[in-house]
Amino acid sequence: MPARVFSVLMLATAATSAVGQTVSLPAAEVIQRPPHPALSDASAAEPLTLDVVLGLAAQANPTLRSARADVDASAAAFSQAGARPNPELSFLQEGFGGAERTTTALINQTVEPGGKRRARMEVASYGREVALATLDSRAAALRAQVIVAFYELLAAQRQLRVAEEATAIAARSVELADRRARAGKVSPVEATKAKVAASSVQLDLVNAKTRVASAHERLANITASPSVRESHVAGDIETVPPIEPLSALVARLDDVPQSRAARAEMLRTNAAIAVERARRIPDVTFSAGMKRVVTGGVRDNQSVIGISIPLPLFDNNKGAFLEAVHKAEKASTDFDGEKTSLELEVTQAYRTISAPYSRRSS
């Protein structure tokens, strides 16, 4: 099952157990779990539980760290969106003679009409919601990948133990058959058959070791923790947890991170329309200062005030406004498509998972 489908289904069920192992680690908590003591050299030989492995992945996985950095960036973007224009200090000197010159010093302050600052902050706010939802989505996907890899390793370990036991039994069978053949109790052909069977079992053992090594490598890659390669894992692989009705799962799809991210992106693009609409209104710059005029060696100070308004004759931001409108339409369509896709994926995943239950009940 794809990790995306598994993560969506897990978020919809909000279950705290996975394949019989009780794990109090929702997707939102994956991003804050501290390092586990099992990382220390003293306890490296102890089997790792699913809870511990999830904690390792939460700390070291680069995809999750990238999403956290994006959340931090969105917080900085929101702070910057609320910044007002800086004032400007200008200085103008006319004439450099001692008897005839004019010196003007001005402070200019630009004022943004039309609610531009508020609109920018609204866009940045929805952008932060997108980043947070994306972080939760990546945490859920990582959780699904870790759970799948963990139980693949757990199953590979069990297969290895079975292969080792079978190898030991085959070795004893070869020894016994060889003794009986030398004693003349059985045909030498029986000893040869036992050796052939032992060779086959030995090949199974080699394959089982390869599967364990591959499972270790995958789990170490997902968690970005090399120490996992040298550790065994422990958990319950027998018990399968119950699943909720499909209708209950579908009803929760609006709250999963993928839906939240698509909804926030739709709202962000709608808010961007307000930003581009406000930019069509020219900013106003107010100026105030002093002017010193020296004429014939006589000084005279004068107050200066002014106002500057750009004339939107050639650029009225129409293109950017239409671009924002079309992007909002796209985001709205993407949101509807995401909802439909999630419902289809959850339905298919539910049928795949519930099939064993149906066979058991029948």
pLDDT in tens, 81-118: 999 999 999 999 988 776 788 999 999 999 999 899 99
Higher pLDDT, 23 or 327: 327
Write the CB contacts of 35 (distance below 8 Å, at least 6 apart in sequence).
55, 56, 59
Average pLDDT, integer, range 21-38: 37
Q: Over the stretch 226-283, which tens digit does the pLDDT of each residue have?
A: 888 888 888 888 777 777 888 888 888 888 999 999 999 999 999 999 999 999 999 9
Average pLDDT, integer, range 209-222: 93
For residue 34, pLDDT beyond 50: no
Higher pLDDT, 316 or 190: 316
Average pLDDT, integer, range 312-339: 93
Beta bridge mates, 299: 294
| pLDDT confidence of residue 351 | 86
Buried b (16+ CB within 10 A) or exposed e, 268-285: bbbbbbbbbbbbeebeeb
Calculate the average pLDDT of the chain.
Answer: 84
Q: Say whether 126 sits in a helix, a strand or coil.
A: helix
Q: Residue 48 in contact with residue 225, Cβ under 8 Å?
A: no
Q: What is the distance between the terminal CA atoms of the chain, rounded to a whole angstrom? A: 24
| pLDDT confidence of residue 35 | 42
Q: Residue 270 in contact with residue 339, Cβ under 8 Å?
A: no
| Overall pTM > 0.85 | no
pLDDT above 90 as % of the chain: 53
For residue 39, name the pLDDT band (cuts at 50, 70, 90).
very low
For residue 33, pLDDT beyond 70: no
Average pLDDT, integer, range 219-227: 90
Nearest residue to 23 via CA among 1, 53, 58: 53
Helix (H) or strand (E) holding 219: helix 188-223
Nearest residue to 108 via CA among 130, 122, 91: 91
Q: Say whether 190 sits in a helix, a strand or coil.
A: helix
Write the CB contacts of 79 (distance below 8 Å, at least 6 apart in sequence).
none
- Side by side, which strands form the sheet with 88-94? 88-94, 100-111, 284-295, 298-308
The number of beta carbons lying within 10 Å of the beta carbon of residue 113 is 11
For residue 134, pLDDT beyond 90: yes
